[in-house]
Amino acid sequence: MRAALKKHNIAFRERLAATRLIAILRAEDTEYFADVAQVLYDCGVRAIEATLTTPGALDAIAAMQVELGPDTMVGAGSVRTVSDVDSCAAVGADFLVTPTFSAEVLERAQRYAIPVVCGALTPTEIDGAWRHGAAVVKVFPAAQAGGPAYVQAVHAPLPEIPLVPTGGVTLDDVDAYLGAGAFAVAAASPLIGNATCGGRLDELSERASRFVTTAGKFA
């Protein structure tokens, strides 16, 4: 199982390195997820997270995988329990995203060889998540912790750990985070806006194109 997880983690990092960006979909329901995902895909986003806090997220993940095809990774966010891992594995989620560091969740994901973007904040949590098999470590909430300066400070003593700052990441932050040593960034409302609630898709396309272009400079 460890060998399989290592292989899948490497493949996940290689694919994420091509864009340096994860788009986060979160809403009261999944009515517009398919439309939003298609716009993101058309703009070059190749890693999309649908949070489990959105009712129907698991079905939406399975549907988006079919609609977008194998060159897009569609994962589940807000994964907090072993039961969550089992449910995500059952629908074939390409990766999992957690808000916190949970050894139990990481160990369960290892059974399925599913890459985990593991949430952590302090250097101790970040190091622990990496040692327990995270594919990359999500620094959350990054903006509130100090933004790019915090990521740079953490990256210095832990250079081998791929960090993905999340939480309040705006377009203006992308250059700074990736320049500070972040492996990739993950963005929700600054990227998605109100598109998951029926907002204008042309405006989403404009934002997504800018995010992709900016992050792509580091690919």
pLDDT in tens, 102-143: 999 999 999 999 999 999 999 999 999 999 999 999 999 999
Is residue 214 within 8 Å of residue 171, measured between CB atoms? yes
Look at residue 1 in the predicted model and tell me its pLDDT.
63
Q: How many domains does the chain have?
A: 1
Is residue 177 within 8 Å of residue 165, measured between CB atoms? yes
Catalytic residue among 104, 125, 138, 217: 138
Look at residue 2 in the predicted model and tell me its pLDDT.
80
Q: From residue 191, give the alpha-carbon distance in Å to each of 18, 62, 106, 130, 170.
A: 18, 22, 28, 27, 7
User: Could you read off the pLDDT of 194-212 as tens digits, one per residue?
Assistant: 999 999 999 999 999 999 9
Catalytic residue among 7, 14, 49, 206: 49
CA atoms within 13 Å, Cβ hemisphere of 208: 27
Q: Is 125 a catalytic residue?
A: no
List the domain range (segments joined by +) for residue 92. 2-216
Describe the strand order of the beta sheet including 136-139 as a list of residue ranges: 163-165, 136-139, 116-120, 96-97, 73-77, 47-51, 21-25, 185-187
Residues contacting 198, CB < 8 A, separation 6+ = 31, 32
Residue 180 sits in a domain of what CATH number?
A: 3.20.20.70
Q: Is 7 a catalytic residue?
A: no
The answer to whether the bond into 141 is cis (omega within 30° of 0) is yes
Q: Does the pTM of the predicted model rise above 0.95?
A: yes
Q: What backbone torsions phi and psi does residue 201 show, to the nearest 5 degrees? A: -80, -25
